[in-house]
Structure 1
Amino acid sequence: MTHMVNTVADGRVDKMTSQAEKTSGSGVVSAPPPKPVVGRGRDHRIDAMRGVALLMMFIDHIPQNLLNRFTMRNVGFADAAEVFVLLAGYASWLAYGRGFRKYGVPTILKRIFRRCVQLYIGQTIMVAAYVFTVRAWRHFTPVSVDYLEPELAHGMGWVWRVMMFDALPSNLNILPLYIVLLGGFPLFYVLMRVHRSLALVLSGAVWLFVNFDPEINFPNWLDPDGWYFNPFAWQFLFALGLTASAETERRGGDLPQKQLLVIASILYLVFSAIQAFPWTLWGLPDFRPFGDSIAPAKTWLSPFRLLDVVAIFYLVQSSDKARQWAAESKLGQILARVGRHSLEIFVVGTVLDLYARLIFSTFGDGWGLQVAVNIVGLAVLFWLAAWLDARRTRQRAALAASK
């Protein structure tokens, strides 16, 4: 069979060569036209990384959870929130940036508005779940006011503040940031159309200015320091994701793998891991080279945190092996499935966090409950991702069949 295929292929080549010689009128064979670049399909690395970030956020938002000793915040300056926002920028370009010329400005603006509404609905669901759950739980056992913030634990006069993002309770503050950043996407796009680096340069300048003056922030009725995720600082991370996505699209592949950048990224992550690791929590000697002198602020996105997440992102997005793992391995596909439904997973995971905290504070945080809470919580999230993925597949199949 192989010999037959080779024979046919050789015959086709000879035929093409003969035709080319006849066309050129000389003994010199004309070079065949270059083959068009074939698209590599969906990049599952983005989905898989976002899936990992969502699962780590679920674990990290339960203070009593022993499993959060093993998440990325223990081995680096950055945590899952930075990964989530950077990938939000990357995915936003894929979802909307390419569509302005293809579908027109009005259509894409409607899509962005519709997504912002979906995010707002998700925020409303989480706030309502927190309020009603805590107030119902109080009928059976005391609950610390910290679960709702002291100002929100009494009365209903604060509702309009939460709905207008004038008050942002803890653990319920990342979707408002996402809405603000996504709402500003058209401005990022216009600047990128003027020059592909203009949005990144201006965004970086604003971020740098905020790092020199952290008081520049959105007001928060619950915190005199403003939003915990300062939009004026975190927009730079979003802009980095947008620019990286546009650049990989322009190149038609991965980020360029430069050996010097790979080495620099690895060395920085090693330093970050040693400096950020909670040595004393594990009963070990403190090996941090700079002790307590480095305390990277999360609110205004300290350069140490920024470099950490950028190094991770670069190593993954410049690696073809990482692309292959995310697309072909069983674990990579499971994580990618979680990441493809980020809003639903985040909302459900945040509500599960509340129940886990209430269970631990009411019944204790012994090993039995630790195992039960983590197994049940993660199982619910994995099941939800699988169900949502299957539903989307059925919907697409029905749509294709109707055409």
Structure 2
Amino acid sequence: MGNSPLPQAPHRRDHRIDALRGMALLMMCIDHIPQDVLNRFTMRNIGFADAAEVFVLLAGYASWLAYGRAFGKKPAGTVLGRIGRRCWQLYVYQMVMVVVCIATIRIWRHFWPVPVDFLEPELAHGLDAAWRVLSLQALPGNLNILPLYIVLLLGFGPLFVLLRGVGTPVVLGLSATVWLVVNFDPRLNFPNWLDPDGWYFDPLAWQFLFVLGVCAARVAGQHGGSLPRVPGLAWVCGGYLAFSAVQSFPWTDWGLADLRLLAMAVPDKMILSPWRLLDVLALFYLVQSSGRATALAATRGGQLMALFGRHSLEIFTAGTLIDLYARLALTSFGTGWVMQVVVNVVGFVVLLGVARNRERARQAARQSRPAHGGAVPPGVPLCRN
């Protein structure tokens, strides 16, 4: 007994990450409803990037917390098994969303008209394309981010080996090179039977954002969970975000004079253009290096966002289905204020119910672990990324 190690304090989850991810999930839900007036106020209106970039960057960050640190504490096979199970879970959720969306639209068509853009024409007739959907060769619109996450997560094991073998600078250099090549030649992409241009989120480009998230988590782990605050860099990030806001704000849609400083096309999302990449990195650095952001995440509003962020897969899935029903409702019954209020209030209540239900299950699982000798090792997040 005298030689027993002292008990270590349990890992304290960084609520900034959860709160930021929760906000991103809510904005993704709103952005996927074109008729929703609230999408005038999401981050895509005040920046080159939108919630999708935040989601993928935080996926890399959370993957290191959930799996990267576990490689040093558990057998590699155990950790790889956890990654494999997570990928399978993502795949199952993807298939459930596809089936529900296709079935819903086909049933809805018997009662109200449905525009063709709600379902790709190739999927609108028969089940001939089912095998393409199952093999992720056909990615319907608004159902394309989980396949990207699966691909990135499957590459986490090799990424960890490279980080340990050649170091962070080399890995970042290799990842950036692939991203640059794709930006010069956007034809380099995974095939998508529904889109001749390929996957909407080109994995060869978006892997760079995921890798940056992984590396940021490693750096933050060496500085108490935060990125080092460099005043000059913070000012540069703030200046870039201000420029991005001026360039991206829909001035004419609000009946205002166009104050954009440059005439430029919307930065390409498929290949993660440099404008978008710098935008999300600047935002993330300011949040993850800020003590004020930590305090905001501890407020009631911050904790509410963190509640959504802790259960990202369930919230994303519920949000995607809410998007579908909201679009159908607004298309069939009008976009007046009554429908706007109903759609948004019902959607939020459903998401809140899902988050609270998952949180109760999480708390019950935590309380049952000590009784079964399954205490969570220190340093490992208590819930999945």
TM-score relative to the length of structure 1: 0.89
Aligned match for 2:50, one of 56, 79, 82: 79
Counterpart in 2 of 1:380? 350
The AA in structure 2 aligned to 1:275 is: Q
Unmatched 5+ stretches in structure 1? 1-36
The separation in 2 between residues aligned to 1:45 and 1:39, in whole angstroms, is: 18
> Structure 1 residue 350 and structure 2 residue 320: aligned?
yes
Does structure 1 conserve the Cα–Cα contact (< 8 Å) formed by 2:172 and 2:211? yes
Counterpart in 2 of 1:107? 78
Which residues of 2 match residues 4-403 of structure 1 at below 5 A?
Answer: 41-194=12-165, 195-291=167-263, 293-326=264-297, 328-403=298-373
Q: Tell me by how many angstroms 1:379 deviates.
A: 1.3
How many residue pairs match? The answer is 365
The separation in 1 between residues aligned to 2:345 and 2:199, in whole angstroms, is: 33
The separation in 1 between residues aligned to 2:188 and 2:218, in whole angstroms, is: 29
Does structure 1 conserve the Cα–Cα contact (< 8 Å) formed by 2:190 and 2:202? yes
Does structure 1 conserve the Cα–Cα contact (< 8 Å) formed by 2:14 and 2:225? no
| Structure 1 stretch displaced more, 159-168 or 232-241 | 159-168
The separation in 2 between residues aligned to 1:38 and 1:352, in whole angstroms, is: 40
Q: Tell me by how many angstroms 1:40 deviates.
A: 7.3
Q: Normalized per residue, which structure has more helix?
A: 1
Does structure 2 conserve the Cα–Cα contact (< 8 Å) formed by 1:76 and 1:275? yes
Counterpart in 2 of 1:27? none
Structure number, greater radius of gyration: 1
Deviations 1:38-76 (A, max 9, x none): 887211111000000000011000011111000000000
Deviations 1:152-185 (A, max 9, x none): 1111101111111111110000000000000011
The separation in 2 between residues aligned to 1:107 and 1:200, in whole angstroms, is: 26
| Structure 1 stretch displaced more, 235-244 or 188-197 | 188-197
The separation in 2 between residues aligned to 1:142 and 1:321, in whole angstroms, is: 49
Runs of at least 4 residues off by over 4 Å: 37-40
| Structure 1 stretch displaced more, 348-357 or 317-326 | 317-326
The separation in 2 between residues aligned to 1:304 and 1:212, in whole angstroms, is: 14
The separation in 2 between residues aligned to 1:353 and 1:158, in whole angstroms, is: 23
The separation in 1 between residues aligned to 2:116 and 2:306, in whole angstroms, is: 37
Unmatched 5+ stretches in structure 2? 1-7, 374-385
Q: Secondary structure at the match of 1:244?
A: helix
Deviations 1:120-148 (A, max 9, x none): 01101100110110011111122122111
Q: Secondary structure at the match of 1:166?
A: coil
The separation in 2 between residues aligned to 1:40 and 1:232, in whole angstroms, is: 33
Q: Tell me by how many angstroms 1:325 deviates.
A: 2.2
The AA in structure 2 aligned to 1:231 is: P
Does structure 2 conserve the Cα–Cα contact (< 8 Å) formed by 1:39 and 1:252? no
The separation in 2 between residues aligned to 1:225 and 1:85, in whole angstroms, is: 21
Q: Tell me by how many angstroms 1:283 deviates.
A: 0.8
The AA in structure 2 aligned to 1:332 is: G
Q: Tell me by how many angstroms 1:196 deviates.
A: 2.3
Q: Secondary structure at the match of 1:197?
A: helix
Q: Secondary structure at the match of 2:352?
A: helix
TM-score relative to the length of structure 2: 0.93
The separation in 2 between residues aligned to 1:263 and 1:38, in whole angstroms, is: 36
Q: CA RMSD in A?
A: 1.3
More relative contact order, 1 or 2 (CA 8 Å, 6+ apart) = 2
Q: Tell me by how many angstroms 1:114 deviates.
A: 0.2
The separation in 2 between residues aligned to 1:273 and 1:91, in whole angstroms, is: 27
The separation in 1 between residues aligned to 2:346 and 2:366, in whole angstroms, is: 30
Does structure 2 conserve the Cα–Cα contact (< 8 Å) formed by 1:89 and 1:242? yes
Deviations 1:214-271 (A, max 9, x none): 1100011111111110000000000000000011112333111000110000000000
Q: Secondary structure at the match of 2:355?
A: helix
